Amino acid sequence: MTDTKITQIGNRAGNDIVGRDKIVHQYSKKRSQISFLNEKYLAEKENDSEMYEIIKVLLHYAKRENEDFLGLDGKLQAANKQEDYIEYAKEQKELFAKRLIKRDLSPSAQKIFAYILGKVKTRFVHDVIPKIKSGCSEDVVEKSILENVIEPIFEELEENVLDVSMDEMVGMLFFLTGNCHISWTKQC
């Protein structure tokens, strides 16, 4: 085996000269909030630093909004949802709640979840509740949830560093419902 010595003496750089791996992140001119949070999460994950700060916004979504607590079952029953839909909702809520707990030591992961929960709530309030209040059919409401809430927010996740699934996005909706942040009846 021969001894090979590599040097960079005499090299002239028009661009980067890299001695090992070069990682290039390409972003559009204006980076989105989720891009910054994704990058921060990946840096925290890479450094494996101990993280223990709880995000106040996330705590807000994780606690009940008011004392008039019906729970997820009661709210969906009041909205005339079928029993199999209610069971599905409970499963998805539980799936998301477990993921949330699993990531509770990462401030960036918590910020990502808080960001998504805020988007889910806002889109539901502005796109779905008006349809519920105007008496739209269940098919129209469900289509609006998928097309105006779940799918656009899922697309916004870009790299999706937390591997959030569509089911978990739905679980976030039911998590917010169960904690009194979203109502499914005309009396919103």
pLDDT (0 to 100) of residue 65? 58
Which amino acid is it at 59?
Answer: L
Residue 2: pLDDT band with limits 50, 70, 90: low
Residues 6+ apart with CB under 8 A from 175: 61, 93, 96, 97, 100, 117
Q: Which of 126, 115, 134, 132 is nearest to 172 (CA)?
A: 115
Residues 6+ apart with CB under 8 A from 37: 108, 111, 112, 115
Torsion of Cα atoms, 87 then 146 then 154 then 58, to 10°: -50
Query: Tens digits of per-residue pLDDT, 8-64?
Result: 676 676 666 666 666 666 655 677 888 888 888 777 766 654 443 445 555 556 666
pLDDT (0 to 100) of residue 188? 40
In this predicted model, which residue has the larger pLDDT, 146 or 56? 146
Residue 151: pLDDT band with limits 50, 70, 90: very high
φ/ψ bin of 153: left (φ > 0), alpha (ψ from -120 to 50), beta (otherwise): alpha
Handedness of CA 43, 44, 46, 47 (dihedral sign): positive
Look at residue 89 and tell me whether its pLDDT is greater than 80: yes
pTM of this prediction exceeds 0.75: no
